Amino acid sequence: MARSSGAALATKFATPLLIGGALLATAGFGGLEEAPDDAPQDLPVLEPGEVSHGSQFDVSLGRAVLIDELEGAGTFVEEGERTLAVTVTFTNVTNEPIASDLYLDETIQVAALPADRIHGGGPTEPSIARLDDATVRPVLQPGIPVETVVTWPIPADLLAEGDTLRVTIGDVPWYELQFLDSEGGYWDTEEAGPIAVADLAVEDVGAGADDTGEEDAG
């Protein structure tokens, strides 16, 4: 079941708009809305695929995709919404497994998104799934790079093909506790903050690739 779902998820991304190039990494921003000149707080501005090194994860961003609905990714849209999907590769740099959704809000942020969903649908919250097998909220093992897709439900008219999406990568620091006879600590979300940004070209793939590979003969 997971393998089948993963194949469908990956197929949705396998469209002519998304292959045949290194995710626009070398294409520049010609024809797009102008990217912001300065990163906040003098943060480094990363290119797609460039790695940001944090306390928990090494993170690299791939592409930003608008799609009607990305089945298997964990985000469910309502009428008037579409799905924003950002591909993110995480490498857990700690010595312990970490649930990928546990610090997702602190690690991947998109300021352009509204705080609340339309029609009173609650807060705009991200979901995360592996791209290879569509496991939702995967556990990230130490030292293993995992390509994921982070998705949000957004108003259908919020973004369009060719827009520039600024994504902020954050980091949650480790707070060390010392006792007389032992040591320990915790990930301090209160001290979490941005460490890098990236400007991604938004690609609109409509409904995405047909899961069956067949077109409607209608």
What is the tens place of the pLDDT at every residue in 29-46?
333 344 444 455 689 999
Q: Residue 120: pLDDT band by 50, 70, 90 thresholds?
A: confident
| Six token digits for residue 64 | 């930003």
Give the model's pLDDT for residue 13: 57
Give the model's pLDDT for residue 44: 95
How many C-alpha atoms does 38 have within 13 Å on its Cβ side?
3
Mean pLDDT computed over every residue of the chain: 82
In tens, the pLDDT along 86-108 reads 999 999 999 999 999 999 999 99
Give the model's pLDDT for residue 155: 96
Q: Residue 217: pLDDT band by 50, 70, 90 thresholds?
A: very low
Higher pLDDT, 2 or 169: 169
pLDDT above 90 covers what percent of the chain? 66
Place of tokens 């130490």: 142
Beta carbons within 8 Å of 27's beta carbon, 6+ residues apart: 21, 201
Query: What integer is the mean pLDDT of 144-148?
Result: 97
Give the model's pLDDT for residue 45: 96
Query: What integer is the mean pLDDT of 172-190?
Result: 80
Query: What integer is the mean pLDDT of 138-153?
Result: 97
- Say yes or no to pLDDT of 69 above 90: yes
Q: Residue 22: pLDDT band by 50, 70, 90 thresholds?
A: very low
Query: What integer is the mean pLDDT of 50-73?
Result: 96
- Say yes or no to pLDDT of 58 above 90: yes
Asked whether the beta carbons of 147 and 106 are under 8 A apart, the reply is no
Domains of the chain: 2-24+45-167+194-204 (2.60.40)
Q: Residue 79: pLDDT band by 50, 70, 90 thresholds?
A: very high
In tens, the pLDDT along 124-141 reads 999 999 999 999 999 999
Give the model's pLDDT for residue 180: 61
Q: Residue 193: pLDDT band by 50, 70, 90 thresholds?
A: very high
